[in-house]
Amino acid sequence: MPESQQIERSVFFISDGTAITAETLGHSLLAQFPNVKFNVHIIPYISSEEDALKVVQEINACQQVEGELPLVFDTLVNPHVREIINTANAVNLDVFEGMISKLEQELKTAPTSLIGQTHAVIDSEYYKARIDAVHFALDNDDGARTRHYDKADIILIGVSRSGKTPTAIYLSLQFGIRVANYPLTEEDLDDNRLPKVLREHKAKLFGLMIDADRLVAIRTERKAGSRYASYSQCQMELRAIEGIYISEGIPFLNVSEMSIEEISTRVLQITGLKRRIS
Amino acid sequence: MPESQQIERSVFFISDGTAITAETLGHSLLAQFPNVKFNVHIIPYISSEEDALKVVQEINACQQVEGELPLVFDTLVNPHVREIINTANAVNLDVFEGMISKLEQELKTAPTSLIGQTHAVIDSEYYKARIDAVHFALDNDDGARTRHYDKADIILIGVSRSGKTPTAIYLSLQFGIRVANYPLTEEDLDDNRLPKVLREHKAKLFGLMIDADRLVAIRTERKAGSRYASYSQCQMELRAIEGIYISEGIPFLNVSEMSIEEISTRVLQITGLKRRIS
């Protein structure tokens, strides 16, 4: 479609907290409309009626400039604040509308309507597990240290730049999983067997696999023209590591077409590890 | 409330993708009902009618055992799959219901109904920026390297265990911000001024502040009974660093009561840095 016909639309994500929930949900929905260019405004920490009135002015100003109604996603708990936002000249996609009252009716207990509740969050076991897991992932990144592998829930292995580090970080931060990661280098692969430190923890190993084309592209961004980034080198390493995965019976996943969210979700599904959530 | 009266309820988060959106939204809603104990089932990658029928059996089995209707949050795009899920004996909180059709009507363009769309995701600038930012945060964690500070969007500073590393990781992974972090040690604080490497990048500095009580608690979990974890040591370091923040005019934030999501959101708000989102 020619650029002049591209539909543009302003979107507001409004929350009394960080706006991360509104943003996550909104993006899932907006991804269904790839032809539209969305101009995103993220507005966290709207807790008073005064704050809300300012946001309404901002939305209305946007509508006046663009001549189209902006889309508004909100996750506001306070009904008074929500009502004010609803007065804006906008298409209101009230995420919580109906849901909280439906839950209230079903659970036969009133919602707290407490905004934030961060204190409860940071003192929860779940939150502490996540923060501990992030520190664990960093301390045990890239084979730097191996002496804490007995405390790991899982040890990701793979060739350099196959996605081990971002996956380890995501699993720890989002799901509270204690993840170590270890790169199998050319020397390891020449041996055609696992290094001793990994053999001792074989039940925790999980392999990442990637197509040679994709690996070449990723390594080229890092070191263009190097042997490290060459097709023949990448292919050789990948054949060797796949051989080890198969001969050692290590579960593995081809992550070439996957985002870190998807790799992480699949790894949990395959290994049976549980998300540590509240 | 005595334990015997605690309300328990099973909850299903069902998605054709990772289920992260359903889970994020569901948790925001369920947090409004702290008196209820929710037994969470997360079910990603439900894309066929066959998959959906199995999930319906699982929900119905759960209902039979518990005698109460389970709560079901789904973010299914395919209407046929969604209809099958809706046949379960459950309270259906269909997240996308109505929203996609409302958007379709407003945007005058049909939704793609493509499930996943991961290929589009991993080739997007946004995704690449996030992965690069994660590698940047790790390479520039804890003052390990300082020669890339010219490429940083922000440099977090603070005393040991004030939350720099988890915040840097969250900002990079979630928002694609390039974050370095540098711990101000006792020697730096004795000088009562910034180390040279930080003075050169003063405009990028952002300080984390924390209450002495909280810092003592965090350091005690790491090294109980040490001088490092003592109240007097923590208080001394915090007074010195607050003095530097104020005298140097460095923006700072007391993070004692904040989750990493909240710290990250506030940091963006104060600095004006923009989330790198699609």
Chain B closest CA to A223's CA: distance in Å? 14
Domain-terminating residue out of B76, B98, B116? B116
Chain A closest CA to B227's CA: distance in Å? 22
Computed over every residue of chain B, the mean pLDDT equals 89
Residue-level pLDDT at A122:
77
Query: A37 with A58, same domain?
Result: yes
Burial class (CB in 10 A: 0-12, 13-18, 19+), B138: buried
Amino acid in position B200:
E
Chain B residues with CB inside 8 Å of A258's CB? Answer: 118, 122
pLDDT at B118 over 80: no
Query: A158 with A202, same domain?
Result: yes
pLDDT tens digits, residue range A213-272?
Answer: 999 999 999 899 999 999 999 999 999 999 999 999 999 999 999 999 999 999 999 999
Residue A229 included in any domain: yes
Look up the CATH number of the domain holding residue B143: 3.40.50.300
Are A199 and A224 a contacting pair, CB within 8 Å?
no
CB contact under 8 A, A21 and B24: yes
Domain-terminating residue out of A116, A140, A168? A116
pLDDT band for B113, please (50, 70, 90 cuts). low
Q: Quote the crossing angle between the two packed helices A125-139 and B164-175, to the nearest 10°.
A: 90
Residue-level pLDDT at A113:
62
Nearest Cα residue in chain B from A132? B166
Chain A residues with CB inside 8 Å of B9's CB? Answer: 107
pLDDT tens digits, residue range B48-98?
Answer: 999 999 999 999 999 999 999 999 998 887 888 999 999 999 998 877 777
Q: By percentage, how much of chain B surpasses pLDDT 90? A: 64
pLDDT tens digits, residue range A177-227?
Answer: 999 999 999 888 888 889 999 999 999 999 999 999 999 999 999 899 999
Residue-level pLDDT at A24:
84
Query: B68 with B137, same domain?
Result: no
**Listed residue (A106, A100, A99, A19) closest to B174, CA to CA:** A19
How far apart CA A207 and CA A185 sit, in angstroms, is 14
CB contact under 8 A, A25 and B23: no
Q: What is the number of structural domains in chain B? A: 2
pLDDT at A118 over 60: no
Query: B130 with B107, same domain?
Result: no
Task: Number of A to B CB contacts under 8 A, please give it.
Answer: 179
Chain A closest CA to B269's CA: distance in Å? 9
pLDDT tens digits, residue range A46-77?
Answer: 989 999 999 999 999 999 999 999 999 988 88
Look up the CATH number of the domain holding residue A64: 3.40.50
Residue A277 included in any domain: no
pLDDT tens digits, residue range B175-220?
Answer: 999 999 999 998 888 888 899 999 999 999 999 999 999 999 999 9
How far apart CA A128 and CA A122 sit, in angstroms, is 7
Residue B3 included in any domain: no
CB contact under 8 A, A166 and B131: yes
Chain B residues with CB inside 8 Å of A93's CB? Answer: 99, 102-103
Query: A36 with A165, same domain?
Result: no
CB contact under 8 A, B96 and A261: no
CB-nearest to B275 from A28, A30, A42 is A42
Q: What is the ipTM of this complex?
A: 0.87
Chain B residues with CB inside 8 Å of A111's CB? Answer: 32-33
Query: B131 with B245, same domain?
Result: yes
Residue-level pLDDT at B3:
46
User: Is A128 known as a binding-site position?
Assistant: no
Query: B248 with B130, same domain?
Result: yes
How far apart CA A183 and CA A102 sit, in angstroms, is 49
Domain-terminating residue out of A55, A88, A116? A116
Query: A101 with A182, same domain?
Result: no
Q: Quote the crossing angle between the two packed helices A164-175 and B125-139, to the nearest 10°.
A: 90
Query: B109 with B200, same domain?
Result: no
CB contact under 8 A, A119 and B29: no
Query: A257 with A135, same domain?
Result: yes
CB contact under 8 A, A127 and B24: no
Query: A65 with A24, same domain?
Result: yes
Chain B residues with CB inside 8 Å of A18's CB? Answer: 261-262, 264-265
Task: For residue A120, give the 3-state DSSP assignment.
Answer: helix
CB contact under 8 A, A102 and B112: no
Q: Show the domain range for B187.
A: 122-271
Query: A62 with A186, same domain?
Result: no
